Amino acid sequence: MLVASRSSTTLPGGRIRDKWFIWLIIGRLRRRKKIRGRPTDARPPPPAHCGEVDVASANQPGRPLDAPGSWEPDGRASSRGPKGEFPVTVRIIRGILAANAAALAIGAVAAPARTVDLASASVSGLLDAQASGRLSCAGIAQAALSRIHQLDPQLKAFITVNPRLAEEAAALDDRRRAGGSLPLQCIPVALKDNIEVAGMPTTGGSVLLRDYYPARDSTAASRLRAAGALIVGKTNLDELAVAGSTISSILGQTLNPYDRTRYAAGSSGGSAVAVSTGMAVCALGTETVNSLRNAASSAGVVAVRTSHGAVSRAGVMPQSSTMDVVGPLCKSVADTVRILDVIAGRDTRDPETTAYEGMAPSISSANARAAPLAGKTFGVMRTLFGKDPEHAPVNDVMASAIARIKQAGATIVEIDDAEFDSDVTTRKLNVSNYEFRPLFEAYLATLPASIHLATVREYYDAGRYPKVTMEKFLHNAVTWKAPLDMPAYKAALAYRAYMHDKIMGMMSDLRLDAMIYPSQKRPPVALDDKPRAERNGVFASALGFPAIDLPAGFTAPTPQAPQGLPVGLDMLGKPGMDQQLLELALGVEGALKGRQAPRIIQAHIGHAAE
C-alpha cells in the first residue's frame, strides 16, 4: 500500500513539484485495483515474455519497462516475501518508486525545491548540506529515486530497490533535527546482491534464490546502517559473482553508461554503474579476482580491494575463502576512505579480521591526507600492457597518466618480467575454482528450509543460469570429486606463496611505494565480443595485496561513445599497508583528474527538496 505523505505534494498555488511522481502514484493505484480481487496467495500473471533470460533482447539498450522482451525473475511479475510483500526488480520498479515518492514529498510548501546531482555529489558535500539545512535526507532519497526511475530501465543496475527508503530517510531526518550526527548521515549506498540486507531479498542474481530474505544484516550492511547510510537497494552482478560481465538470470545484462553497446564488466558492474550515474553516491561490491576494480575501470569510478581480512565477509555469499573481499566503489578516493572507515575492522563473525587487526593499523578517514608524490617510487609492470593494435587506446591513456605522475615528482621504475603475465598467472593462481563448491554448499545449508536448494549439483541441473558465463565453471564444480585435495589446488597455493614472496622482495629491493598497471588491457568490450577485457587484477586478489583502481582518463571519442571510454589505473601496495596506499592514491588522483560523469545523466538532474 502507499505510504502516507508527511506533507503536501504541491507548492503554493497548486503547482506540482514533480509531475512524474503523480503518474507513478496513479500507476500504483491502478496496479492495486487489479490485484485487489485476487486471493491473498495468488500471484500476478506472467508478462508476455517469460522463462530464461533472452540475452539478445536483454542487451538491447533503452528497452521500456513493459516492452516485449523485457524480463521478470522466473517469468513472474513478483514473488512474495515472508510477510507477503513483493520484492522489487527493475521490471516493477515503478510501484516502489510511487510508494516512496508519496512519503518523500516533505516540506514542499515550506521551501522551494533544491537540486542535487548525485553523480557529482561527494560524501562530505552531502554531510555539509544537511548540517546547514540546505538539504534533507528525504530530498537526497528523492534525488536517488528520481535518477533510478530515469536511468535504470536503460542500464539495469538494480535488482531490488529498498521498499522502506522513504521511512528510513524520514527517521534519519528526525534524528538530525534532534541533534544526532552520524558519520555517513543519509549517504545513499547500494549493495551488490550477494551481500545480505535484512528486509530485502539476497538473490546472488539467481532466480533460484529469489525468495531468500535474510533474517539479519551482513556485518558490512549493519555497520553502514549504524553510521547513518541510506541503503538504496541491491545491485545486479554476475550470477553468484563467478564471472566478469554482470549478467544474471534474475535481471539480465547490465549495460555500460558510457556506451550501452558495451559490457559494464563485473561482477560488481551493477554497483559501479549505480555510482557512476548517481543512482547512489557509493556502493559495496565484492571481489574474488577482478570484480571491484574491473567494474570500476569500465564505469569511470574508484574501487578499493583491501588487504585480506581488513573488511568482514560475514553475511556475504562466498566463492573463495582465500580470495574473497568486500570493498567500496565511489567517485573519489576520499569517499572510499570514509566508507572503509566504517565497514573495516575486527568482526567476531569473520576470524580473518582478527588476523588483519594484529598486522596492520586501522583505516581512518580522519587521518587520511594526500601523500605528496615527490620522492615516491612507482614500478610500472610492463608485461601487463597489451602489445596488439586493440590495446593501443588503453596504452595511450596509461602513458599520459604515467607522465602526469612523473611530472608531479614521482620516480618511475620500469619492470619487464615475463613471469608477470596476467593470463598465465590467473590460470595458475585462481584457487576459487576449487574452493567454491564446499563454501557455497555450506552457505546454502544456513538458508531457510523454504529455499529448496542444497547443492551445486542441484543448481547446475536446474539449468537456470546464464550459460555463456557459468557453464564451464559450474561443470568443473560438480565433476571435481574432492577439489580441495586435488594436486592442482595444492600447486596453486604453493605458487601463490612463491609469487607473494617475489613481489614483496621486488618492492623492497626497488624501494617501490606501489606498482601500477592498467586494470584491463582493453577498454570495455562490445556485447558481441568476449566479455572479459584481458584483466590484470589477479596479483592483488590471489596474493592478498591491497589495490585501488583510479580513473586514468578516456579513450578517443567515437559516434557510439562520444566521451570515449574510461580507462582505469590499478595501484598495488603491500599487505597491511592499506592506509598508506589510500593516501598515495589521494595524491595520484589529484595528478590524474581522470573522471568524467557519463553524459547519459545530463538529460536528468535529480531534485532534492529541503
What grid cell was written down for 287?
571481489
530 is catalytic: no
What is the rounded distance in angstroms from the CA atom of residue 101 to the CA atom of residue 24?
Answer: 8
More confident residue, 222 or 78: 222
Q: Using pLDDT thresholds of 50, 70 and 90, give the confidence band for residue 360.
A: confident
Category of 198 on φ-ψ map: left (φ > 0), alpha (ψ -120 to 50) or beta:
beta
Residue of higher predicted confidence among 68 and 440? 440
Mention every residue, 6+ apart, whose C-beta is less than 8 A from residue 258. Answer: 299, 300, 524, 561, 563, 564, 565, 566, 598, 600
The domain that holds 161 is classified in CATH as 3.90.1300.10
Give, for 239, the enclosing helix (H) or strand (E). none
Please say if the pLDDT value at position 68 is more than 60: no
Say if 103 falls within a structural domain. Answer: no
Compute the distance between CA of residue 148 and CA of residue 98 in angstroms, rounded to an integer.
12
Residue 452 belongs to some domain of the structure = yes
The model's pLDDT over 234-243, given as tens digits with 9 standing for 90+, comes to: 999 999 999 9
72 inside domain: no
| DSSP sequence for 542-585 | HHT--EEEEEEEEPPP-SS-TT--EEEEEEE--TT-HHHHHHHH
381 lies in a domain?
A: yes
70 pLDDT exceeds 90? no
**What is the predicted pLDDT for the residue at 222?**
99
Question: What are 25-66's pLDDT values in tens digits?
Answer: 334 444 444 433 333 333 333 322 223 333 333 333 332 222
In the predicted model, what is the mean pLDDT of residues 87-92?
A: 45
Q: Is residue 424 part of a domain?
A: yes
Q: Compare 103 and 287 and report the one with higher pLDDT.
A: 287
Angle, helices 93-103/19-36, rounded to nearest 10 degrees: 120
Q: CA nearest 204: which of 273, 294, 286, 95?
A: 286
Please say whether the dihedral angle defined by the alpha carbons of residues 70, 78, 94 and 301, taken in this order, is positive or negative: negative
Which residues have C-beta within 8 Å of that of residue 244, sequence separation ≥ 6? 238, 265, 266, 267, 289, 290, 291, 294, 469, 531, 532, 535
What pLDDT does 88 receive?
43
Average pLDDT rounded to a whole number, residues 242-258: 97
Beta bridge partners of residue 215, listed in sequence order: none
| Tens digits of residue pLDDT in 483-540 | 999 999 999 999 999 999 999 999 999 999 999 999 999 999 999 987 766 999 999 9
Domain count, the chain: 1
pLDDT, average across residues 14-30:
38
DSSP 3-state helix, strand, coil percentages of the chain (rounded to 5)? 40, 15, 45
Distance CA 325, CA 307 (A): 8
Q: pLDDT band for 420, please (50, 70, 90 cuts).
A: very high
User: Phi first, then psi: what are they for 158, rounded to 5°?
Assistant: -105, 130
Written as nine digits, the cell of 545 is 595485496
What's residue 39's pLDDT? 35
Q: Do the Cβ atoms of 256 and 554 come closer than 8 Å? A: no
pLDDT of residue 557: 98
pLDDT of amino acid 130: 97
Residue 312 contacts residue 336 (beta carbons within 8 Å): no
Helices (H) and strands (E) counted in the chain, each on its own, are 19, 17
Q: Annotated catalytic residue: which of 267, 307, 365, 519?
A: 267
Residue 122 in grid coordinates: 561527494
pLDDT of residue 367: 82
**How far is 127 from 184, CA to CA, in rounded Å?**
7
> What pLDDT is attached to residue 104?
61
Band of pLDDT at residue 114, cut at 50, 70 and 90? low
Evaluate whether residue 58 is within a structural domain: no
Query: Is residue 335 within 8 Å of 329, Cβ to Cβ?
Result: no
Q: What is the pLDDT of residues 311-353, one digit of tens each?
A: 999 999 999 999 999 999 999 999 999 999 999 999 999 999 9
Does the residue 158 lie in any domain?
yes
- Could you tell me if residue 26 is inside a domain? no
Average pLDDT, the chain: 85
291 has catalytic annotation: yes
pLDDT digits (tens, 9 = 90+) for 136-163: 999 999 999 999 999 999 999 999 999 9
pLDDT of residue 359: 82
Q: Which of 70, 206, 291, 432 is catalytic?
A: 291
For 112-143, b/e burial (b = at least 16 CB within 10 A) is eeeebbbbebbbeebbebbeeeebbbbbbbbb
Q: Does residue 77 carry a pLDDT above 60?
A: no
| HSE toward the beta carbon, residue 490, CA cutoff 13 A | 4
Catalytic residue of the set 192, 376, 428, 521: 192
Q: Give the residue numbers spanning the domain of 514.
A: 123-606
On whether the CB atoms of residues 197 and 88 are closer than 8 A, the answer is: no
pLDDT tens for residues 180-234?
Answer: 889 999 999 999 999 999 999 999 999 999 999 999 999 999 999 999 999 999 9
d(CA 456, CA 93): 31
